[in-house]
Amino acid sequence: MTDEDDFAEDRYGVPPMLQSQARLDRVLVRVQDLTAEKAGQLLWVRARIHTSRAKGKQCFLVLRQQQFNVQALVAVGDRASKQMVKFAANITKESIVDVEGVVRKVEQKIESCTQQDVELHIERIFVVSQAEPRLPLQLEDAVRPEGEGDEEGRATVNQDTRLDNRVIDLRTTTSQAIFRLQSGVCQLFRDTLTSKGFVEIQTPKIISAASEGGANVFTVSYFKTSAYLAQSPQLYKQMCICADFDKVFCVGPVFRAEDSNTHRHLTEFVGLDIEMTFNYHYHEVVESIADTMVQIFKGLRDRYEFQTEIQTVNKQYPSEPFKFLEPTLRLEYWEAVAMLRQAGVEMGDEDDLSTPNEKLLGRLVKEKYDTDFYVLDKYPLAVRPFYTMPDPSNPKYSNSYDMFMRGEEILSGAQRVHDAELLTERALHHNIDLEKIKAYIDSFRFGAPPHAGGGIGLERVTMLYLGLHNVRQTSMFPRDPKRLTP
Amino acid sequence: MALMELASLEKSLGFKKANKYSTQGNNKTPILQSNKGAPLIGLVTIASHLVQEAAQPELLGRTAEQRAVVRQWLEYRVTQLDGCPKEDIRSILKELNQYLEDKVYLAGSDFTLADILLYYGVHHIMADLSVQEKEQHMNLSRWFDHIQHYPGIRQHLPLVVVLRNRLYTGGHH
């Protein structure tokens, strides 16, 4: 097909599929390590073709590896032939390539790449894994901020398309940053609690009775009978406390069959749950949980790797940095009701907070105290689950609390009833079938310590910390009433 | 509705004795029987008459230009505001908000009947706005809060809370 001989024909191409034919002792340098310090070095890089643009005797490529990208160049010369440049220009986007090249410093910073001071002059290029030519979505479109899309008439990608083609969408710099940050939240949660003397436990997810009430539970067939998917590890956390584990936490899936199609509900999410005994007052637990959250916020704020991730996310989704107070702000329910009434909201003393009111309260608290994180204590007993300990001095209220980030609830918790008799009474009051929770009540019959705890949603915490607006952005493969795949 | 308004207006103008009104038509247009001949029909007509009777003609405007502006807003109240469809509420709020950006009162720097009747007319809309919406229409809220605190104007209507501090700054969340 060529007029002239191709002198470079062994320096490019599509090798046979990599089936571990030979174990090459070759060092592949990470794109993020391509800096001016390496100028003049000949090295190998494996990355994806992010973009390619041919111009006469040259082909400019942008090679991408997770959040990092670098400009690369194949130019006709003594190392590359015309055919090689043409080959490079025709490699489909997203294909994985092995390139050998020389790192060269550039005079003008390359603003569009993360590696701004260098470019790679390619001497060899091979396609390790080819991508089909028609991508379901374009990655540049997927990282474009909404406003920019509208203003300049360029495409952005809507959420459903992203979720339908999640594998491609997760390759974007923003998605990479979000989920690395989420991993950080989980890691900080574990590290903080472990250093406070907590033990990590795993609880069963196939259970015989609905823990939070029968309405929102998934039923599964279990041999000749039925079972349920756990709505929370509540019952088992407490049983561990009665089994003398003192302070426990667990990280695991939570299943809620709630037909809510909102920005913050998923049918399956990751619960980060805490339960601990206390000496004399449940506020010991509230302070411990709040401090754990603060340690997470500080870790995300102060550790270098997370700062970069946060900046990356903010490029596409700008938001105000997350603010919190030390010690954590704690308001009581009646105070919150008073603040809302002052702002013109009409509500009863024992009414639950609607979502709009929670958000308005968040705004009022932010304006008054300058914090995005606070604890709301002493909820009315009527709106809490049956195992919540009533307030000792006022039967209308309870020793229960919620925690909020940017005006949205992230944790619900309480001092639990640790007395079998009172528990039975409260269960009957809530019309719960005692037969179904017999094992639970029994665990409190043989000396149960006073204890309290709470559970947070991992996806919600990440979403709210970053100031994002939809929990599906922080769930890798989200599940909601309308989505079961991928 | 209009009858309650007129009753409130009478009280704020200092009338000791309330007039008797009747209504006509589906819109319940108010009618005031006059001793001096033809009955007065319509909210604006009657209100203007009451103002004259109360010897407070300045409430209709002090200069010819001001009088024209007052009449324009009274007409706006009855033709654009009353009975406006839900879709139009947004644009009415925007229009009023924009207009009030550089004025203390509708007629400029003087309190007039236009302020009173617009206040009554827009009250039910303002009462239903969220804190954020009121903040988005900052000038309108400022004017509304001013008028509702004016001595004698609010009468039977509940106070609409207008917060002094901004909760929703420029940023995202």
Domain extents in chain A: 3-129, 139-169, 173-474
With CA atoms as reference, the chain B residue closest to A464 would be: B173
Contact predicate A176/A184, CB 8 Å: no
Q: In the sheet where A206-207 sits, what is the strand order?
A: A206-207, A225-229, A219-222
For residue B166, list chain A residues with Cβ-Cβ distance below 8 A: 367
Radius of gyration for the alpha carbons in chain A, expressed in angstroms and rounded: 28
With CA atoms as reference, the chain A residue closest to B129 would be: A344
Q: Do A367 and B165 touch (CB under 8 A)?
A: yes
CA distances from A192 to A38, A250, A355, A474, B38 (A): 39, 13, 30, 22, 85
Contact predicate B163/B132, CB 8 Å: no
Class of domain A3-129: mainly beta
Nearest to A465 by CA among A261, A177, A269, A193: A177
Predicted TM-score (pTM) of the model is: 0.86
DSSP string spanning A151-218? Answer: HHT-----HHHHHHTHHHHTTSHHHHHHHHHHHHHHHHHHHHHHHTT-EE----SEESS-SS-GGG--
Mean pLDDT of B108-131: 94
Residues of A marked as catalytic? 256, 258, 264-265, 409, 412, 460
DSSP SS3 for B62: coil
Question: How far is it, in rounded angstroms, from Cα A55 to Cα A75?
Answer: 10
Cross-chain CB nearest to A320 (options B131, B167, B173): B173
CA distances from A351 to A216, A346, A381, A396, A397 (A): 22, 10, 10, 11, 11
DSSP string spanning B82-117? Answer: TT--HHHHHHHHHHHHHHGGG-SBTTBSS--HHHHH
Does residue A467 belong to the interface with chain B, where contact is any CB pair within 8 Å? yes
Does residue B171 belong to the interface with chain A, where contact is any CB pair within 8 Å? yes
Mean pLDDT of B109-132: 94
Q: What pLDDT was estimated at residue B164?
A: 87
With CA atoms as reference, the chain A residue closest to B168 would be: A363
DSSP code of residue A25: -
Does residue A346 belong to the interface with chain B, where contact is any CB pair within 8 Å? no
Beta-sheet strands, E only, within A408-473 = 408-415, 451-457
Q: Do B173 and A406 touch (CB under 8 A)?
A: yes
What is the ipTM for the molecules in this complex?
A: 0.80
Rounded to the nearest integer, the mean pLDDT of chain B is 90
Cross-chain CB nearest to B167 (options A364, A406, A467): A364
* Residue A81, H or E segment: none
Which superfamily does A173-474 belong to? Bira Bifunctional Protein; Domain 2 (3.30.930.10)
Cross-chain CB nearest to B163 (options A343, A356, A407): A343
Angle at A324 between CA A321 and CA A325, to 5 degrees: 150
Q: What is the pLDDT along chain A (486 residues), one digit of tens a residue?
A: 555 778 888 999 999 999 999 999 999 999 999 999 999 999 999 999 999 999 989 999 999 999 899 999 999 998 899 999 999 999 999 999 999 999 999 999 999 898 999 999 999 999 999 999 999 998 888 888 877 777 777 788 889 999 999 999 999 989 999 999 999 999 999 999 999 999 999 999 998 876 565 568 999 999 999 999 998 898 899 999 999 999 999 999 999 998 888 898 999 999 999 999 999 999 999 999 999 999 999 999 999 889 989 999 999 999 999 999 999 999 999 999 999 999 999 999 999 999 999 999 999 999 999 999 999 999 999 999 899 999 999 999 999 999 999 999 999 999 999 999 999 999 999 988 888 888 889 999 999 999 999 999 999 999 999 999 999 999 999 999 999 999
What token pair was written down for A376?
């709301």
What token pair was written down for A86?
């043409």
Query: Which residue of A339, A367, A460, A473 to mutate against B (max B Cβ within 10 Å)?
Result: A367
For residue A406, list chain B residues with Cβ-Cβ distance below 8 A: 173
Does residue B161 belong to the interface with chain A, where contact is any CB pair within 8 Å? yes
CA distances from B123 to A33, A433, B49, B136, B146 (A): 64, 51, 23, 17, 13
Query: Which residue of B123, B157, B165, B173 to mutate against A (max A Cβ within 10 Å)?
Result: B173
Question: How far is it, in rounded angstroms, from Cα A42 to Cα A294?
Answer: 46
Q: Do A344 and B167 touch (CB under 8 A)?
A: no
